[in-house]
Amino acid sequence: MGLEEGGAMRALMRRKQVDSDRVRAAGGHQLAKELSVTQLVAIGVGSTIGAGVYVLVGTVAREHAGPALTLSFLIAGVAAALSAFCYAELASRCPSAGSAYHYSYICVGEGVAWLIGWALILEYTIGGSAVARGISPNLDSLPWFLARHELPWFDVVVDPCAAFLVLLVTALLCKGIKESSFVQGVVTVLNCFVMLFVIIAGSYIGFQTGWVGYKVAGGFFPYGANGMLAGSATVFFAYIGFDSVASTAEEVKNPQRDLPLGIGTALSVCCSLYMLVSVVIVGLVPYFAMDPDTPISSAFARHGMHWAMYLVTTGAVLALCSTLMGSILPQPRILMAMARDGLLPSFFSDVNQRTQVPVKSTIVTGICAACLAFFMDVSQLAGMVSVGTLLAFTIVAVSILILRYAPPDEVPLPSSLEASFRLSQEYDEEKVRGPPVDANHEQLSSVVESINDTLIEKKQDTSVEESKRRKAAVCSISSVCVGVVVLTTSASFTFLPFLLRCFFCVFGGLLLLAGLGVLCYIDQDDGRHSFGHSGGFICPFVPLLPVMCILVNTYLLVNLGGGTWMRVGVWLVMGVFVYIFYGRTHSSLTDVVYVPVAQAEEIYGSSSSSGFVA
């Protein structure tokens, strides 16, 4: 029983190697390298700016922020930038398909990586279906066969238009990443033009009318600082989508340069557009008089521009179409990455030779999303989409801390190279024993041995100190994570007695500060310089920035609501059973030996020079 438990724990903690060119060549599954910075920005902006901004402006201004809505978008943008910095470093160091699943598998372990990948599958499937269901209500005149119909016997409203759009996007994605990114770029540019029209035309009206929205009795902060921060927590979800850029890492021409630029530029464009639109609309209409459903259209209608409603509706549809492409694009690549690692059947890892995209995974993704969009009103499940994203953001920040302070110092060696590993061990043992020494060389040998003993002692002292540093780093990272969970849950669970909440808040805060203090005090690991692909973006302000990222995302996770967590919990439990009965036993790391990085490079070098292929 103990051996089985130990084996299960080792399976959960085993970590894979950063995909090098050698590993990819051995795998045989190659994606086309077609994407540049411009296409990455189009994917990031298109996936992020959905139709929600056309509604959020009114809802958040009325209920939370008032004229301070612009600051709410700015604070939320800064919070999203914390995750973007972490993604940028990991994407440039580990430029392979799989995004957060791939990073957590390398830095944390197989068990956490499986849960992240499984949660992202749910996120992208429901996200794509929800976006598709949101398009048809914006289209007034649809043919009968595409309009919504109610099935009286089953009390279900089917949406053929949504299913058709999902299948259309799926067919486009199967054509190739170059073609699909071009179409998404065109749709995104058109949507940005609509938002620029709102900004320019609205500013003209504002200067003509004197910006009446900023002259309300309540001032700039009618709900106080707490209202502005509550608004930030709401609009934060409008920034979700830039992580789609990281999922295309393997298809980028120059990932070390282009991925950080693509992620950063996309987030900056989104934040700028959000803030400018909110500045204008909040200034045109007093926040308490805004229409919560159509704030932008109604703002123009109040000033006699009724025709602008059609333009704004067009922008909303374009935004939804672009977001639909951004929702379906990453999932096939995550399925492919999980199948490459053996955690899912190899069917999902097939790459079409002509289009160089995972066509089979894309088709399965499209069919599942189309069925959900056709039969189910998934708006009630929309909260589940946020769980996968926020979990991914949190684990990516944890991975940055691990990479900087305790990066993997051993890599998995395939079973086919175990013979080379044993030969290397035997060779090292022979070198330690050395050849027999005759009596004439005993004096010289004793001098050499004394020097060697001194060097060995110094090396052992250094390795002991390094081992202590790594243990302190691991304990500190664990202390930060536990402290964040305790602090955020105790602060959010208002049903607990006040004194109990205070006690746990203080306890969690002390754990968090203690872990952060130790991480600031100790040195970062020297191995971080050679980890993965060097020469890319380096996340600044470590450990403070990733710790803040963990804190923000965990707080948002805790406050998603019990109903959302119950539904997500059912999905995650299903994933645990899939992993136990399939993924754990079929993992590509099942029969590997872990060796130090330097020794692995020697073994790979000797095996390649002798013509031996893994």
Answer yes or no: is pLDDT of 167 > 90.
Answer: yes
Answer yes or no: is pLDDT of 22 > 50.
Answer: no
pLDDT of residue 444: 45
Give the pLDDT mean for 418-445. Answer: 53
Question: Mean pLDDT score of the chain, rounded to an integer?
Answer: 85
451 pLDDT tier (thresholds 50, 70, 90): very low
Q: How far apart are CA 370 and CA 297, in angstroms?
A: 30
Amino acid occupying residue 124: Y
447 pLDDT tier (thresholds 50, 70, 90): very low
pLDDT of residue 10: 81
37 pLDDT tier (thresholds 50, 70, 90): very high
Q: How far apart are CA 167 and CA 542, in angstroms?
A: 43
DSSP-derived pairing of the beta strands 149-151 and 410-413: unpaired
Q: How far apart are CA 565 and CA 588, in angstroms?
A: 31
DSSP secondary structure, 375-403, as one string = H--GGGGHHHHHHHHHHHHHHHHHHHHHH
Amino acid occupying residue 571: W
Residue 158 phi, psi (nearest 5) = -90, 150
Q: How far apart are CA 614 and CA 607, in angstroms?
A: 8
Q: What share of the chain has pLDDT > 70, as a percent?
A: 85
**ω before 407 within 30° of 0 (cis)?**
no
Residue 329 phi, psi (nearest 5) = -60, -45
Answer yes or no: is pLDDT of 598 > 80.
Answer: no
353 by Cβ neighbours in 10 Å (0-12 / 13-18 / 19+) ranks as exposed
DSSP class of residue 595 equals E
* Residue closest to 101 by CA, chosen among 28, 201, 109: 109
Summarize pLDDT for 295-323 with one digit per residue, the tens: 888 889 888 888 888 898 889 889 989 99
Answer yes or no: is pLDDT of 604 > 70.
Answer: no
- DSSP-based three-state secondary structure for 410: strand
Give the pLDDT mean for 191-204. Answer: 94
For the ranges 311-320, 414-423, 499-508, the maximum mean pLDDT occurs at 499-508
Helix pair 255-284, 69-93: axis angle to 10 deg: 170
Domains of the chain plus CATH, in order, are 32-407 (1.20.1740.10)
Amino acid occupying residue 256: Q
Q: How far apart are CA 179 and CA 34, in angstroms?
A: 10
Answer yes or no: is pLDDT of 439 > 80.
Answer: no
pLDDT of residue 102: 94
Query: Cα torsion for 373, 375, 380, 386, to the nearest 10°?
Result: -30
Give the long-range contacts of residues 520-526, CB within 8 A, separation 24 or more.
Answer: 520/544, 522/405, 522/469, 522/472, 522/473, 522/476, 523/469, 524/404, 524/405, 525/404, 525/405, 525/406, 525/407, 525/469, 525/470, 525/473
Summarize pLDDT for 257-283 with one digit per residue, the tens: 999 999 999 999 999 999 999 999 999
Which token pair is 339? 């199948």
* Residue closest to 295 by CA, chosen among 74, 578, 57, 560: 57
Summarize pLDDT for 131-142 with one digit per residue, the tens: 888 887 777 666
524 CB-near residues (< 8 Å, 6+ apart): 404, 405, 542
Query: Cα torsion for 555, 559, 562, 563, to the nearest 10°?
Result: -120
- DSSP-based three-state secondary structure for 252: strand
Answer yes or no: is pLDDT of 531 > 60.
Answer: yes
Give the pLDDT mean for 375-395. Answer: 82
Answer yes or no: is pLDDT of 154 > 50.
Answer: yes
296 CB-near residues (< 8 Å, 6+ apart): 54, 57, 58, 198, 277, 281, 312
29 CB-near residues (< 8 Å, 6+ apart): 336, 340, 349, 350, 351
What are the residues facing 185 on neighbouring strands? none
- HSE (side-chain half, CA atoms, 13 Å) at 482: 12
Give the pLDDT mean for 525-540. Answer: 85
pLDDT of residue 515: 97
Residue 307 phi, psi (nearest 5) = -65, -20
Helix pair 359-375, 110-133: axis angle to 10 deg: 50
Which token pair is 366? 């499209």
Answer yes or no: is pLDDT of 237 > 90.
Answer: no
Which token pair is 470? 């790594």
